[in-house]
Structure 1
């Protein structure tokens, strides 16, 4: 990569870091929101849910906005909206205003990752895509892990408003640098938005995630408030797919999935992302609800995993520029399966924290070797006008899978808590966090077994992801590809193998 590409990648990483930190930074502050605004926990949880749903709702429109207005203009506008939403959230006067302003944050943040990736990929050829993905992958993988740590420290020592206000100076710096460094790109003024597709995709995805998230509170997977939104979302998404495949100018060009590399990479990414983010939700709950330790402790235990992920992602992303990326991905998923298997077998109510930290390091080794190499492999052969749609397919799918994985993990964990710990009286995770010290000692073995068995969900998703990844097409080295593909940049690389 040349100097300009590295500078642009650094600015993009800064923007993505803010967005990904905000996915999990508020999780540890939910009890504080409930206390500050005198509202139930079920309402306070919407501070996190509203942000996630807003990300999911707008991300699929990224490809169209890039084509219509140009990537630089879209990125700067989205970053400005995110910073404005952060400032307003920090000044919120009641729980309702905080939830609304978090949604504003999400509407801006949802564009940053796919648009930023499109900008970055336009600055390098395929020989350097792996190295570029290493830069962009650090905040994507490390941000959600560090979120609980940063959130716990800020809430405990500064106050909950600092969770949002800290984005303002950082965001203004990112806006200034992006305006100076990012290349200009003109949009297509005549292209119109497929509103019918958008009204199916965005609400469909949001309703699907909302329905699954409600399952944890309902305690019954077939409750009407679970089935109705989830089924409605599924129908809308089905209509979107049918319309997209028939449209000459689709909102999101799903026909790119005819490329074996993108189709297989996206499928594996869905499963691995669901497993990874689902497991990240379970870990802090174990430390706080089962062990009775603080949110800050939960975050500190995850630091080793975050550091390992960041370092390994740099090495792995550069390897895919020199070797067949399938080998890197297969190693990464295998290592992650080992870590998740250990969580299901060794986790107990008194498992020493050094053991959990060691398992986290193995997890970091696996995830750091999986995510960005898998995205790099998926985007091989996707060039030119298809880059925006390709990156949007990957990032939207990743966000959907992350939200769904977390919702499924929460639903299973809540159900197991209620069935195994009679002291909770059906109150699930909320009740587990409110146990007295004596009650927690009595319930800890049953709660720990529930957590260990919840990891079976994430383990099964990883195994399925490994099976899909085995079908990744073999690709030749990018240096050789440049010479042989100058006449046809859209053809998949050796996709017949």
Structure 2
């Protein structure tokens, strides 16, 4: 529980104490499961195709369905956290996520797997915004940078550790274990949450915004469904893309008008009156579109152009995670002392330098150079993602933390889907413009295709594929450089605490 600091009492300690670290350990366990599950499944798609005799377009819905469920449930999380309490809701989300994971492992066809992934996404979608709320309340605004750095570890490890873990589990056991692995971790997380999380203090006074839910949740789901269909259709003009995206966007716009008038809206859009939060949201949106979209291209390059196995491609991404882990704790401490502005600008600059190397990538570019570039990008990532989140969270009062973290998670989810679709379409069109690129990359994993190609065609095709990747990385670099504009407006000094921020935690 929280109690105000008496007049004249010393300010709350800047150090992260044991009580906060215990809370952080619970949140990180949940976040690791939720984030790993997005990337682990990406490795298993070829296995699902053979196991369930389904096309790639069909099995891809095991990922899309999870993302759509995430986007649908996130808006409700802020209200539910206030109404029922973060501890109860967090434990409920863990039970739903782990239970759905076990059901996924028992799937008998692709349709049942997609259905169980929706259930899993409903649980997983609540874990991250709830985790951010719990951590921010536990540490207080003056230490939010450091606790966000702790929460950022699974966000960095997910995209890197997922392919490694998924590849290893599929090769050494079976595809069922990419879901069953959540059972022991979930039991530990649930036990730790029951024992370590502070007792709930729900505030049941606010009424639930049913109109807002009927507008925003289906609106986000339809919009993301349309955007997620772009890579499959290859064009924005397809009816499968346009119809749901336009309807979804209309519902979201309807929610904006409703939310500005409602007394207790599902998402508090009045938070955008806070200039610092608005700048942080714009910076985060542009950054996630650019970097998360490009992040999917790195393993694809190693798999398609260099002919690496899934496990090897995952391991080759490790320098990025190492770089992020080195800078993230330092960045978290510095954000609390000097503000996020200088740190985020440094991070974006480092990412731009690393990405510039990949714009020149070839079919036989030195791995030393590429792994060095990934390491530099990792250093930049550690200085970027969580400091931007901190810039927003530092300005929120205890009452608005749940709504603020929900808002930031919705923005990131939408931006991530847009970024992924954008980069997928750019790469697909670049590959189609080079007729030899597709067959050459397929030949790297299928000797029967290689036998049918004339001498020199594979080498020529792989060089063309590398050019396609290089041009796509150039688009990502331009988008990352544009992120410098809003990042330049982020505060470059220690923030003033919100009105009710002077509090200490009593456990």
Aligning the two structures, in what range does the TM-score lie when normalised by the shorter sequence?
Answer: over 0.9
Q: Which residue of 2 aligns with 1:347?
A: 361
Secondary structure of the corresponding residue to residue 127 of structure 1: helix
Q: Which residue of 2 aligns with 1:64?
A: 79
Q: Which residue of 2 aligns with 1:417?
A: 431
Q: Does 1:288 align with 2:306?
A: no
Q: CA deviation at 1:430?
A: 8.3
Q: Does 1:155 align with 2:170?
A: yes
2-side partners of 1:12 and 1:299: how far apart?
25
2-side partners of 1:429 and 1:212: how far apart?
26
Q: Which residue of 1 aligns with 2:10?
A: none
Q: CA deviation at 1:470?
A: 1.0
The structure 2 residue matched to 1:370, chosen from 368, 378, 384, is 384
Bigger Cα displacement from structure 2, 35-44 vs 452-461: 452-461
State the TM-score, normalized to the length of structure 1: 0.92
1-side partners of 2:229 and 2:443: how far apart?
17
- Given that 2:80 and 2:89 are in contact with CA atoms closer than 8 Å, whether structure 1 keeps it comes out as yes
Q: CA deviation at 1:434?
A: 6.2
Q: Does 1:103 align with 2:122?
A: no
2-side partners of 1:350 and 1:149: how far apart?
23
Q: Does 1:33 align with 2:48?
A: yes
- Given that 2:215 and 2:255 are in contact with CA atoms closer than 8 Å, whether structure 1 keeps it comes out as yes
Secondary structure of the corresponding residue to residue 160 of structure 1: coil
Q: CA deviation at 1:373?
A: 1.2
Q: Does 1:406 align with 2:420?
A: yes
Secondary structure of the corresponding residue to residue 299 of structure 1: helix
Secondary structure of the corresponding residue to residue 288 of structure 1: helix
Q: Which residue of 1 aligns with 2:273?
A: 258
The structure 2 residue matched to 1:453, chosen from 471, 488, 493, is 471
Q: CA deviation at 1:199?
A: 2.1
Q: CA deviation at 1:48?
A: 1.2
Bigger Cα displacement from structure 2, 355-364 vs 206-215: 206-215
2-side partners of 1:206 and 1:389: how far apart?
19
1-side partners of 2:131 and 2:476: how far apart?
29
2-side partners of 1:106 and 1:331: how far apart?
34
The aligned length equals 481
- Given that 1:145 and 1:280 are in contact with CA atoms closer than 8 Å, whether structure 2 keeps it comes out as no
Secondary structure of the corresponding residue to residue 139 of structure 2: coil
- Given that 1:26 and 1:48 are in contact with CA atoms closer than 8 Å, whether structure 2 keeps it comes out as yes
Secondary structure of the corresponding residue to residue 131 of structure 1: helix
2-side partners of 1:262 and 1:117: how far apart?
15
- Given that 2:444 and 2:450 are in contact with CA atoms closer than 8 Å, whether structure 1 keeps it comes out as no
- Given that 2:219 and 2:252 are in contact with CA atoms closer than 8 Å, whether structure 1 keeps it comes out as yes
- Given that 1:131 and 1:317 are in contact with CA atoms closer than 8 Å, whether structure 2 keeps it comes out as yes
Q: Does 1:472 align with 2:493?
A: no
2-side partners of 1:112 and 1:10: how far apart?
13
In structure 2, stretches of 5+ residues that fail to align are 1-15, 503-507
Q: CA deviation at 1:224?
A: 1.4
Q: Which residue of 2 aligns with 1:94?
A: 109
Q: CA deviation at 1:160?
A: 0.7
Q: Does 1:387 align with 2:401?
A: yes
Secondary structure of the corresponding residue to residue 322 of structure 1: helix
- Given that 1:55 and 1:107 are in contact with CA atoms closer than 8 Å, whether structure 2 keeps it comes out as yes
Query: Within 5 A, what are the aligned runs for 1:41-52?
Result: 41-52=56-67
In structure 1, stretches of 5+ residues that fail to align are 492-497
Structure 2 vs 1, CA of residues 489 and 139 (structure 1 numbering), >3 Å: closer, same or farther? same
Q: Deviations over 1:444-482 (max 9, x none)?
A: 1111111111112322221222111111234435xxx45
State the TM-score, normalized to the length of structure 2: 0.91
Secondary structure of the corresponding residue to residue 338 of structure 2: coil
